[in-house]
Amino acid sequence: MKKRIFMICTVRIADSADVEFQKNYVKQLRDAGYCVHWPPENTNQNDFRGGGLFICRANFRAIFRAREIHVIFNPLSFGTHFDLGMVFAILELIRCSSFLRWLIPPKKIILANPQVVEEQIIKEKASGIKKSFAMVLANLAEK
C-alpha cells in the first residue's frame, strides 16, 4: 500500500510560480511512489453550492486518511490556515485519546518550503508578535 500524503497549499490565490512549485513537488513525490492528494487536482474546487463547505469536508477526509501532511506555506492563504487548523485538531484528538490513537492514522508534518516559514517567523518576531500559525507550524513539523 502506498503512503498517503496530503498537500496543504495555496489554491485560490496561487500565482504561476506557486503552481509550478506545487506541480514539481507533487511530481517528485508521485515519482517516488507516494499517493498524493493535491487539492488543486484532487479536490473539486467548484463548490458554488456549498460556498467552500464541501471543499473543507473533502480536504478533511483526505487529511484524516493521510500519514503525512506536506505543507507549502503561504502566510496569506486562508485555506492553508484552515487546513492547518484541521490537522492540529486531528493531532490533538490523537494526543488526548488513547482509544483514538488506534483509529486515526498517525500524522507526520513536513514543510515543503521551510525557508518561507522561517522568514515569516523572523518578520513576526521583529514586529513583536509572539504567537502565530507559522510558529505553531514550525513546532509541529518534523525537524
Residue whose C-alpha cell is 495555496: 10
- The whole-angstrom separation of Cα 117 and Cα 35 is 25
Q: What is the pTM of this model?
A: 0.92
- The whole-angstrom separation of Cα 47 and Cα 54 is 6
- The whole-angstrom separation of Cα 120 and Cα 111 is 13
- The whole-angstrom separation of Cα 128 and Cα 120 is 12
143 has a pLDDT exceeding 60: no
By CB atoms closer than 10 A (0-12, 13-18, 19+), residue 44 is exposed
Q: Where are the domains of the chain?
A: 4-140
111 forms beta bridges with: 71
Instruction: Please name the residue ranges forming H helices in the chain.
Output: 16-31, 39-42, 53-65, 78-96, 98-103, 114-126, 133-140
Asked which of 49-53, 86-90, 109-113, 134-138 is least confident by mean pLDDT, the reply is 49-53
- CATH 3.40.50 assigned to domain 4-140? The reply is yes
The predicted-structure confidence for 10-47, as pLDDT tens digits, reads as follows 999 999 999 999 999 999 999 999 999 999 999 999 98
Contact 69, 5 (CB under 8 A): yes
